[in-house]
Structure 1
Amino acid sequence: MPRKKDPEPPKPLMTDKALELIAMRFRALSEPMRLKLLNVLMQGEHTVGQLVEATGSGQANVSKHLAMLREAGMIGMRKEGLSTYCYIADAMVNELCEMMCRRLRDEMEAQARALAFDPKI
């Protein structure tokens, strides 16, 4: 008779500091404008001016949201002459967005199947 596998010990609880850092990341992702900026940046590096144009928002609003994304460690910025370039600094941002999009697509497809008419009826 095979021996029962010992249960894995529970993972240690995260510290309050770790939980605060995780919450900061999720707060950064909780605003549609920041998601729009990340969506544009996933296509490649852009200047702040290009991001203003791509989002149709004002420079002050874009700058405010970029600052939060930068503070959360999701984007980086570099100066070149008079221009400031922004880029995705954490590849996990791409993975997280792709994972969420896949999940939403699966849920919507399941809803569409559930709502489909049966031609036999």
Structure 2
Amino acid sequence: MEDEIYQYHAEMCQVFSHAKRLEAINLLRDGELSVSELAHKLGLNVGNLSQHLSMMKERRILISRKEGNMVYYRIVNPKLVRCFDMMREMLFEQIRHDAALIQ
């Protein structure tokens, strides 16, 4: 059972391994957006974005709803945004630390 939990954890963390997925999470932090809005803001074509959204939906990071012929995505659990922010804080701390070492 423990191995399965680590495997699931690793799969969830793969969401954080692509810059455009991180950017999408940041864009969705305040609420849902349509696929076309996301594509425009991310500078991606809809086909490429759909692959990222599918991957995040499979891992239960995002949920979608359809309204007419528009599909909207939002973050399932707001704790994801807290994880995102914590990782960013750690990154900025490391950048500041590295900059201090260089000087």
Q: TM-score, normalising length from structure 2? A: 0.90
Counterpart of 1:114?
101
Residue of structure 2 aligned with 1:87, choices 71, 74, 77 = 74
Give the whole-Å Cα distance in 1 for the aligned partners of 2:51 and 2:41.
16
Q: Secondary structure at the match of 2:74?
A: strand
| Aligned-partner residue type, residue 85 of structure 1 | Y
User: Alignment partner of 2:31: what SS?
Assistant: coil
Could you tell me how far apart the structure 2 residues matched to 1:34 and 1:105 are? 19
The answer as to 2:95 corresponding to 1:105 is no
TM-score, L = length of structure 1: 0.78
Q: Which ranges in structure 2 are unaligned for 5 or more consecutive residues? A: none
Return 5+ residue gaps in structure 1 as ranges: 1-13, 117-121
**Which amino acid in the other structure matches residue 15 of structure 1?**
E
Query: How many angstroms does 1:102 deviate by?
Result: 0.7
Q: Which of 1 and 2 has higher RCO (CA within 8 Å, sep 6+)?
A: 2
SS at match of 1:73: coil
Q: Does 1:53 find its partner at 2:40?
A: yes
- Bigger radius of gyration, 1 or 2? 1
Identity between Structure 1 and Structure 2 (%): 28
1:48-86 CA deviation, whole Å, 9 max, x = no partner? 010110011111110110000011111111111221110
User: Quick check: which one's helix share is greater?
Assistant: 2
Greater mean deviation of Cα atoms: 68-77 or 104-113: 104-113
Query: Aligned residues, how many?
Result: 103
Could you say what the CA RMSD is over the residues aligned between the two structures, in angstroms? Answer: 1.4
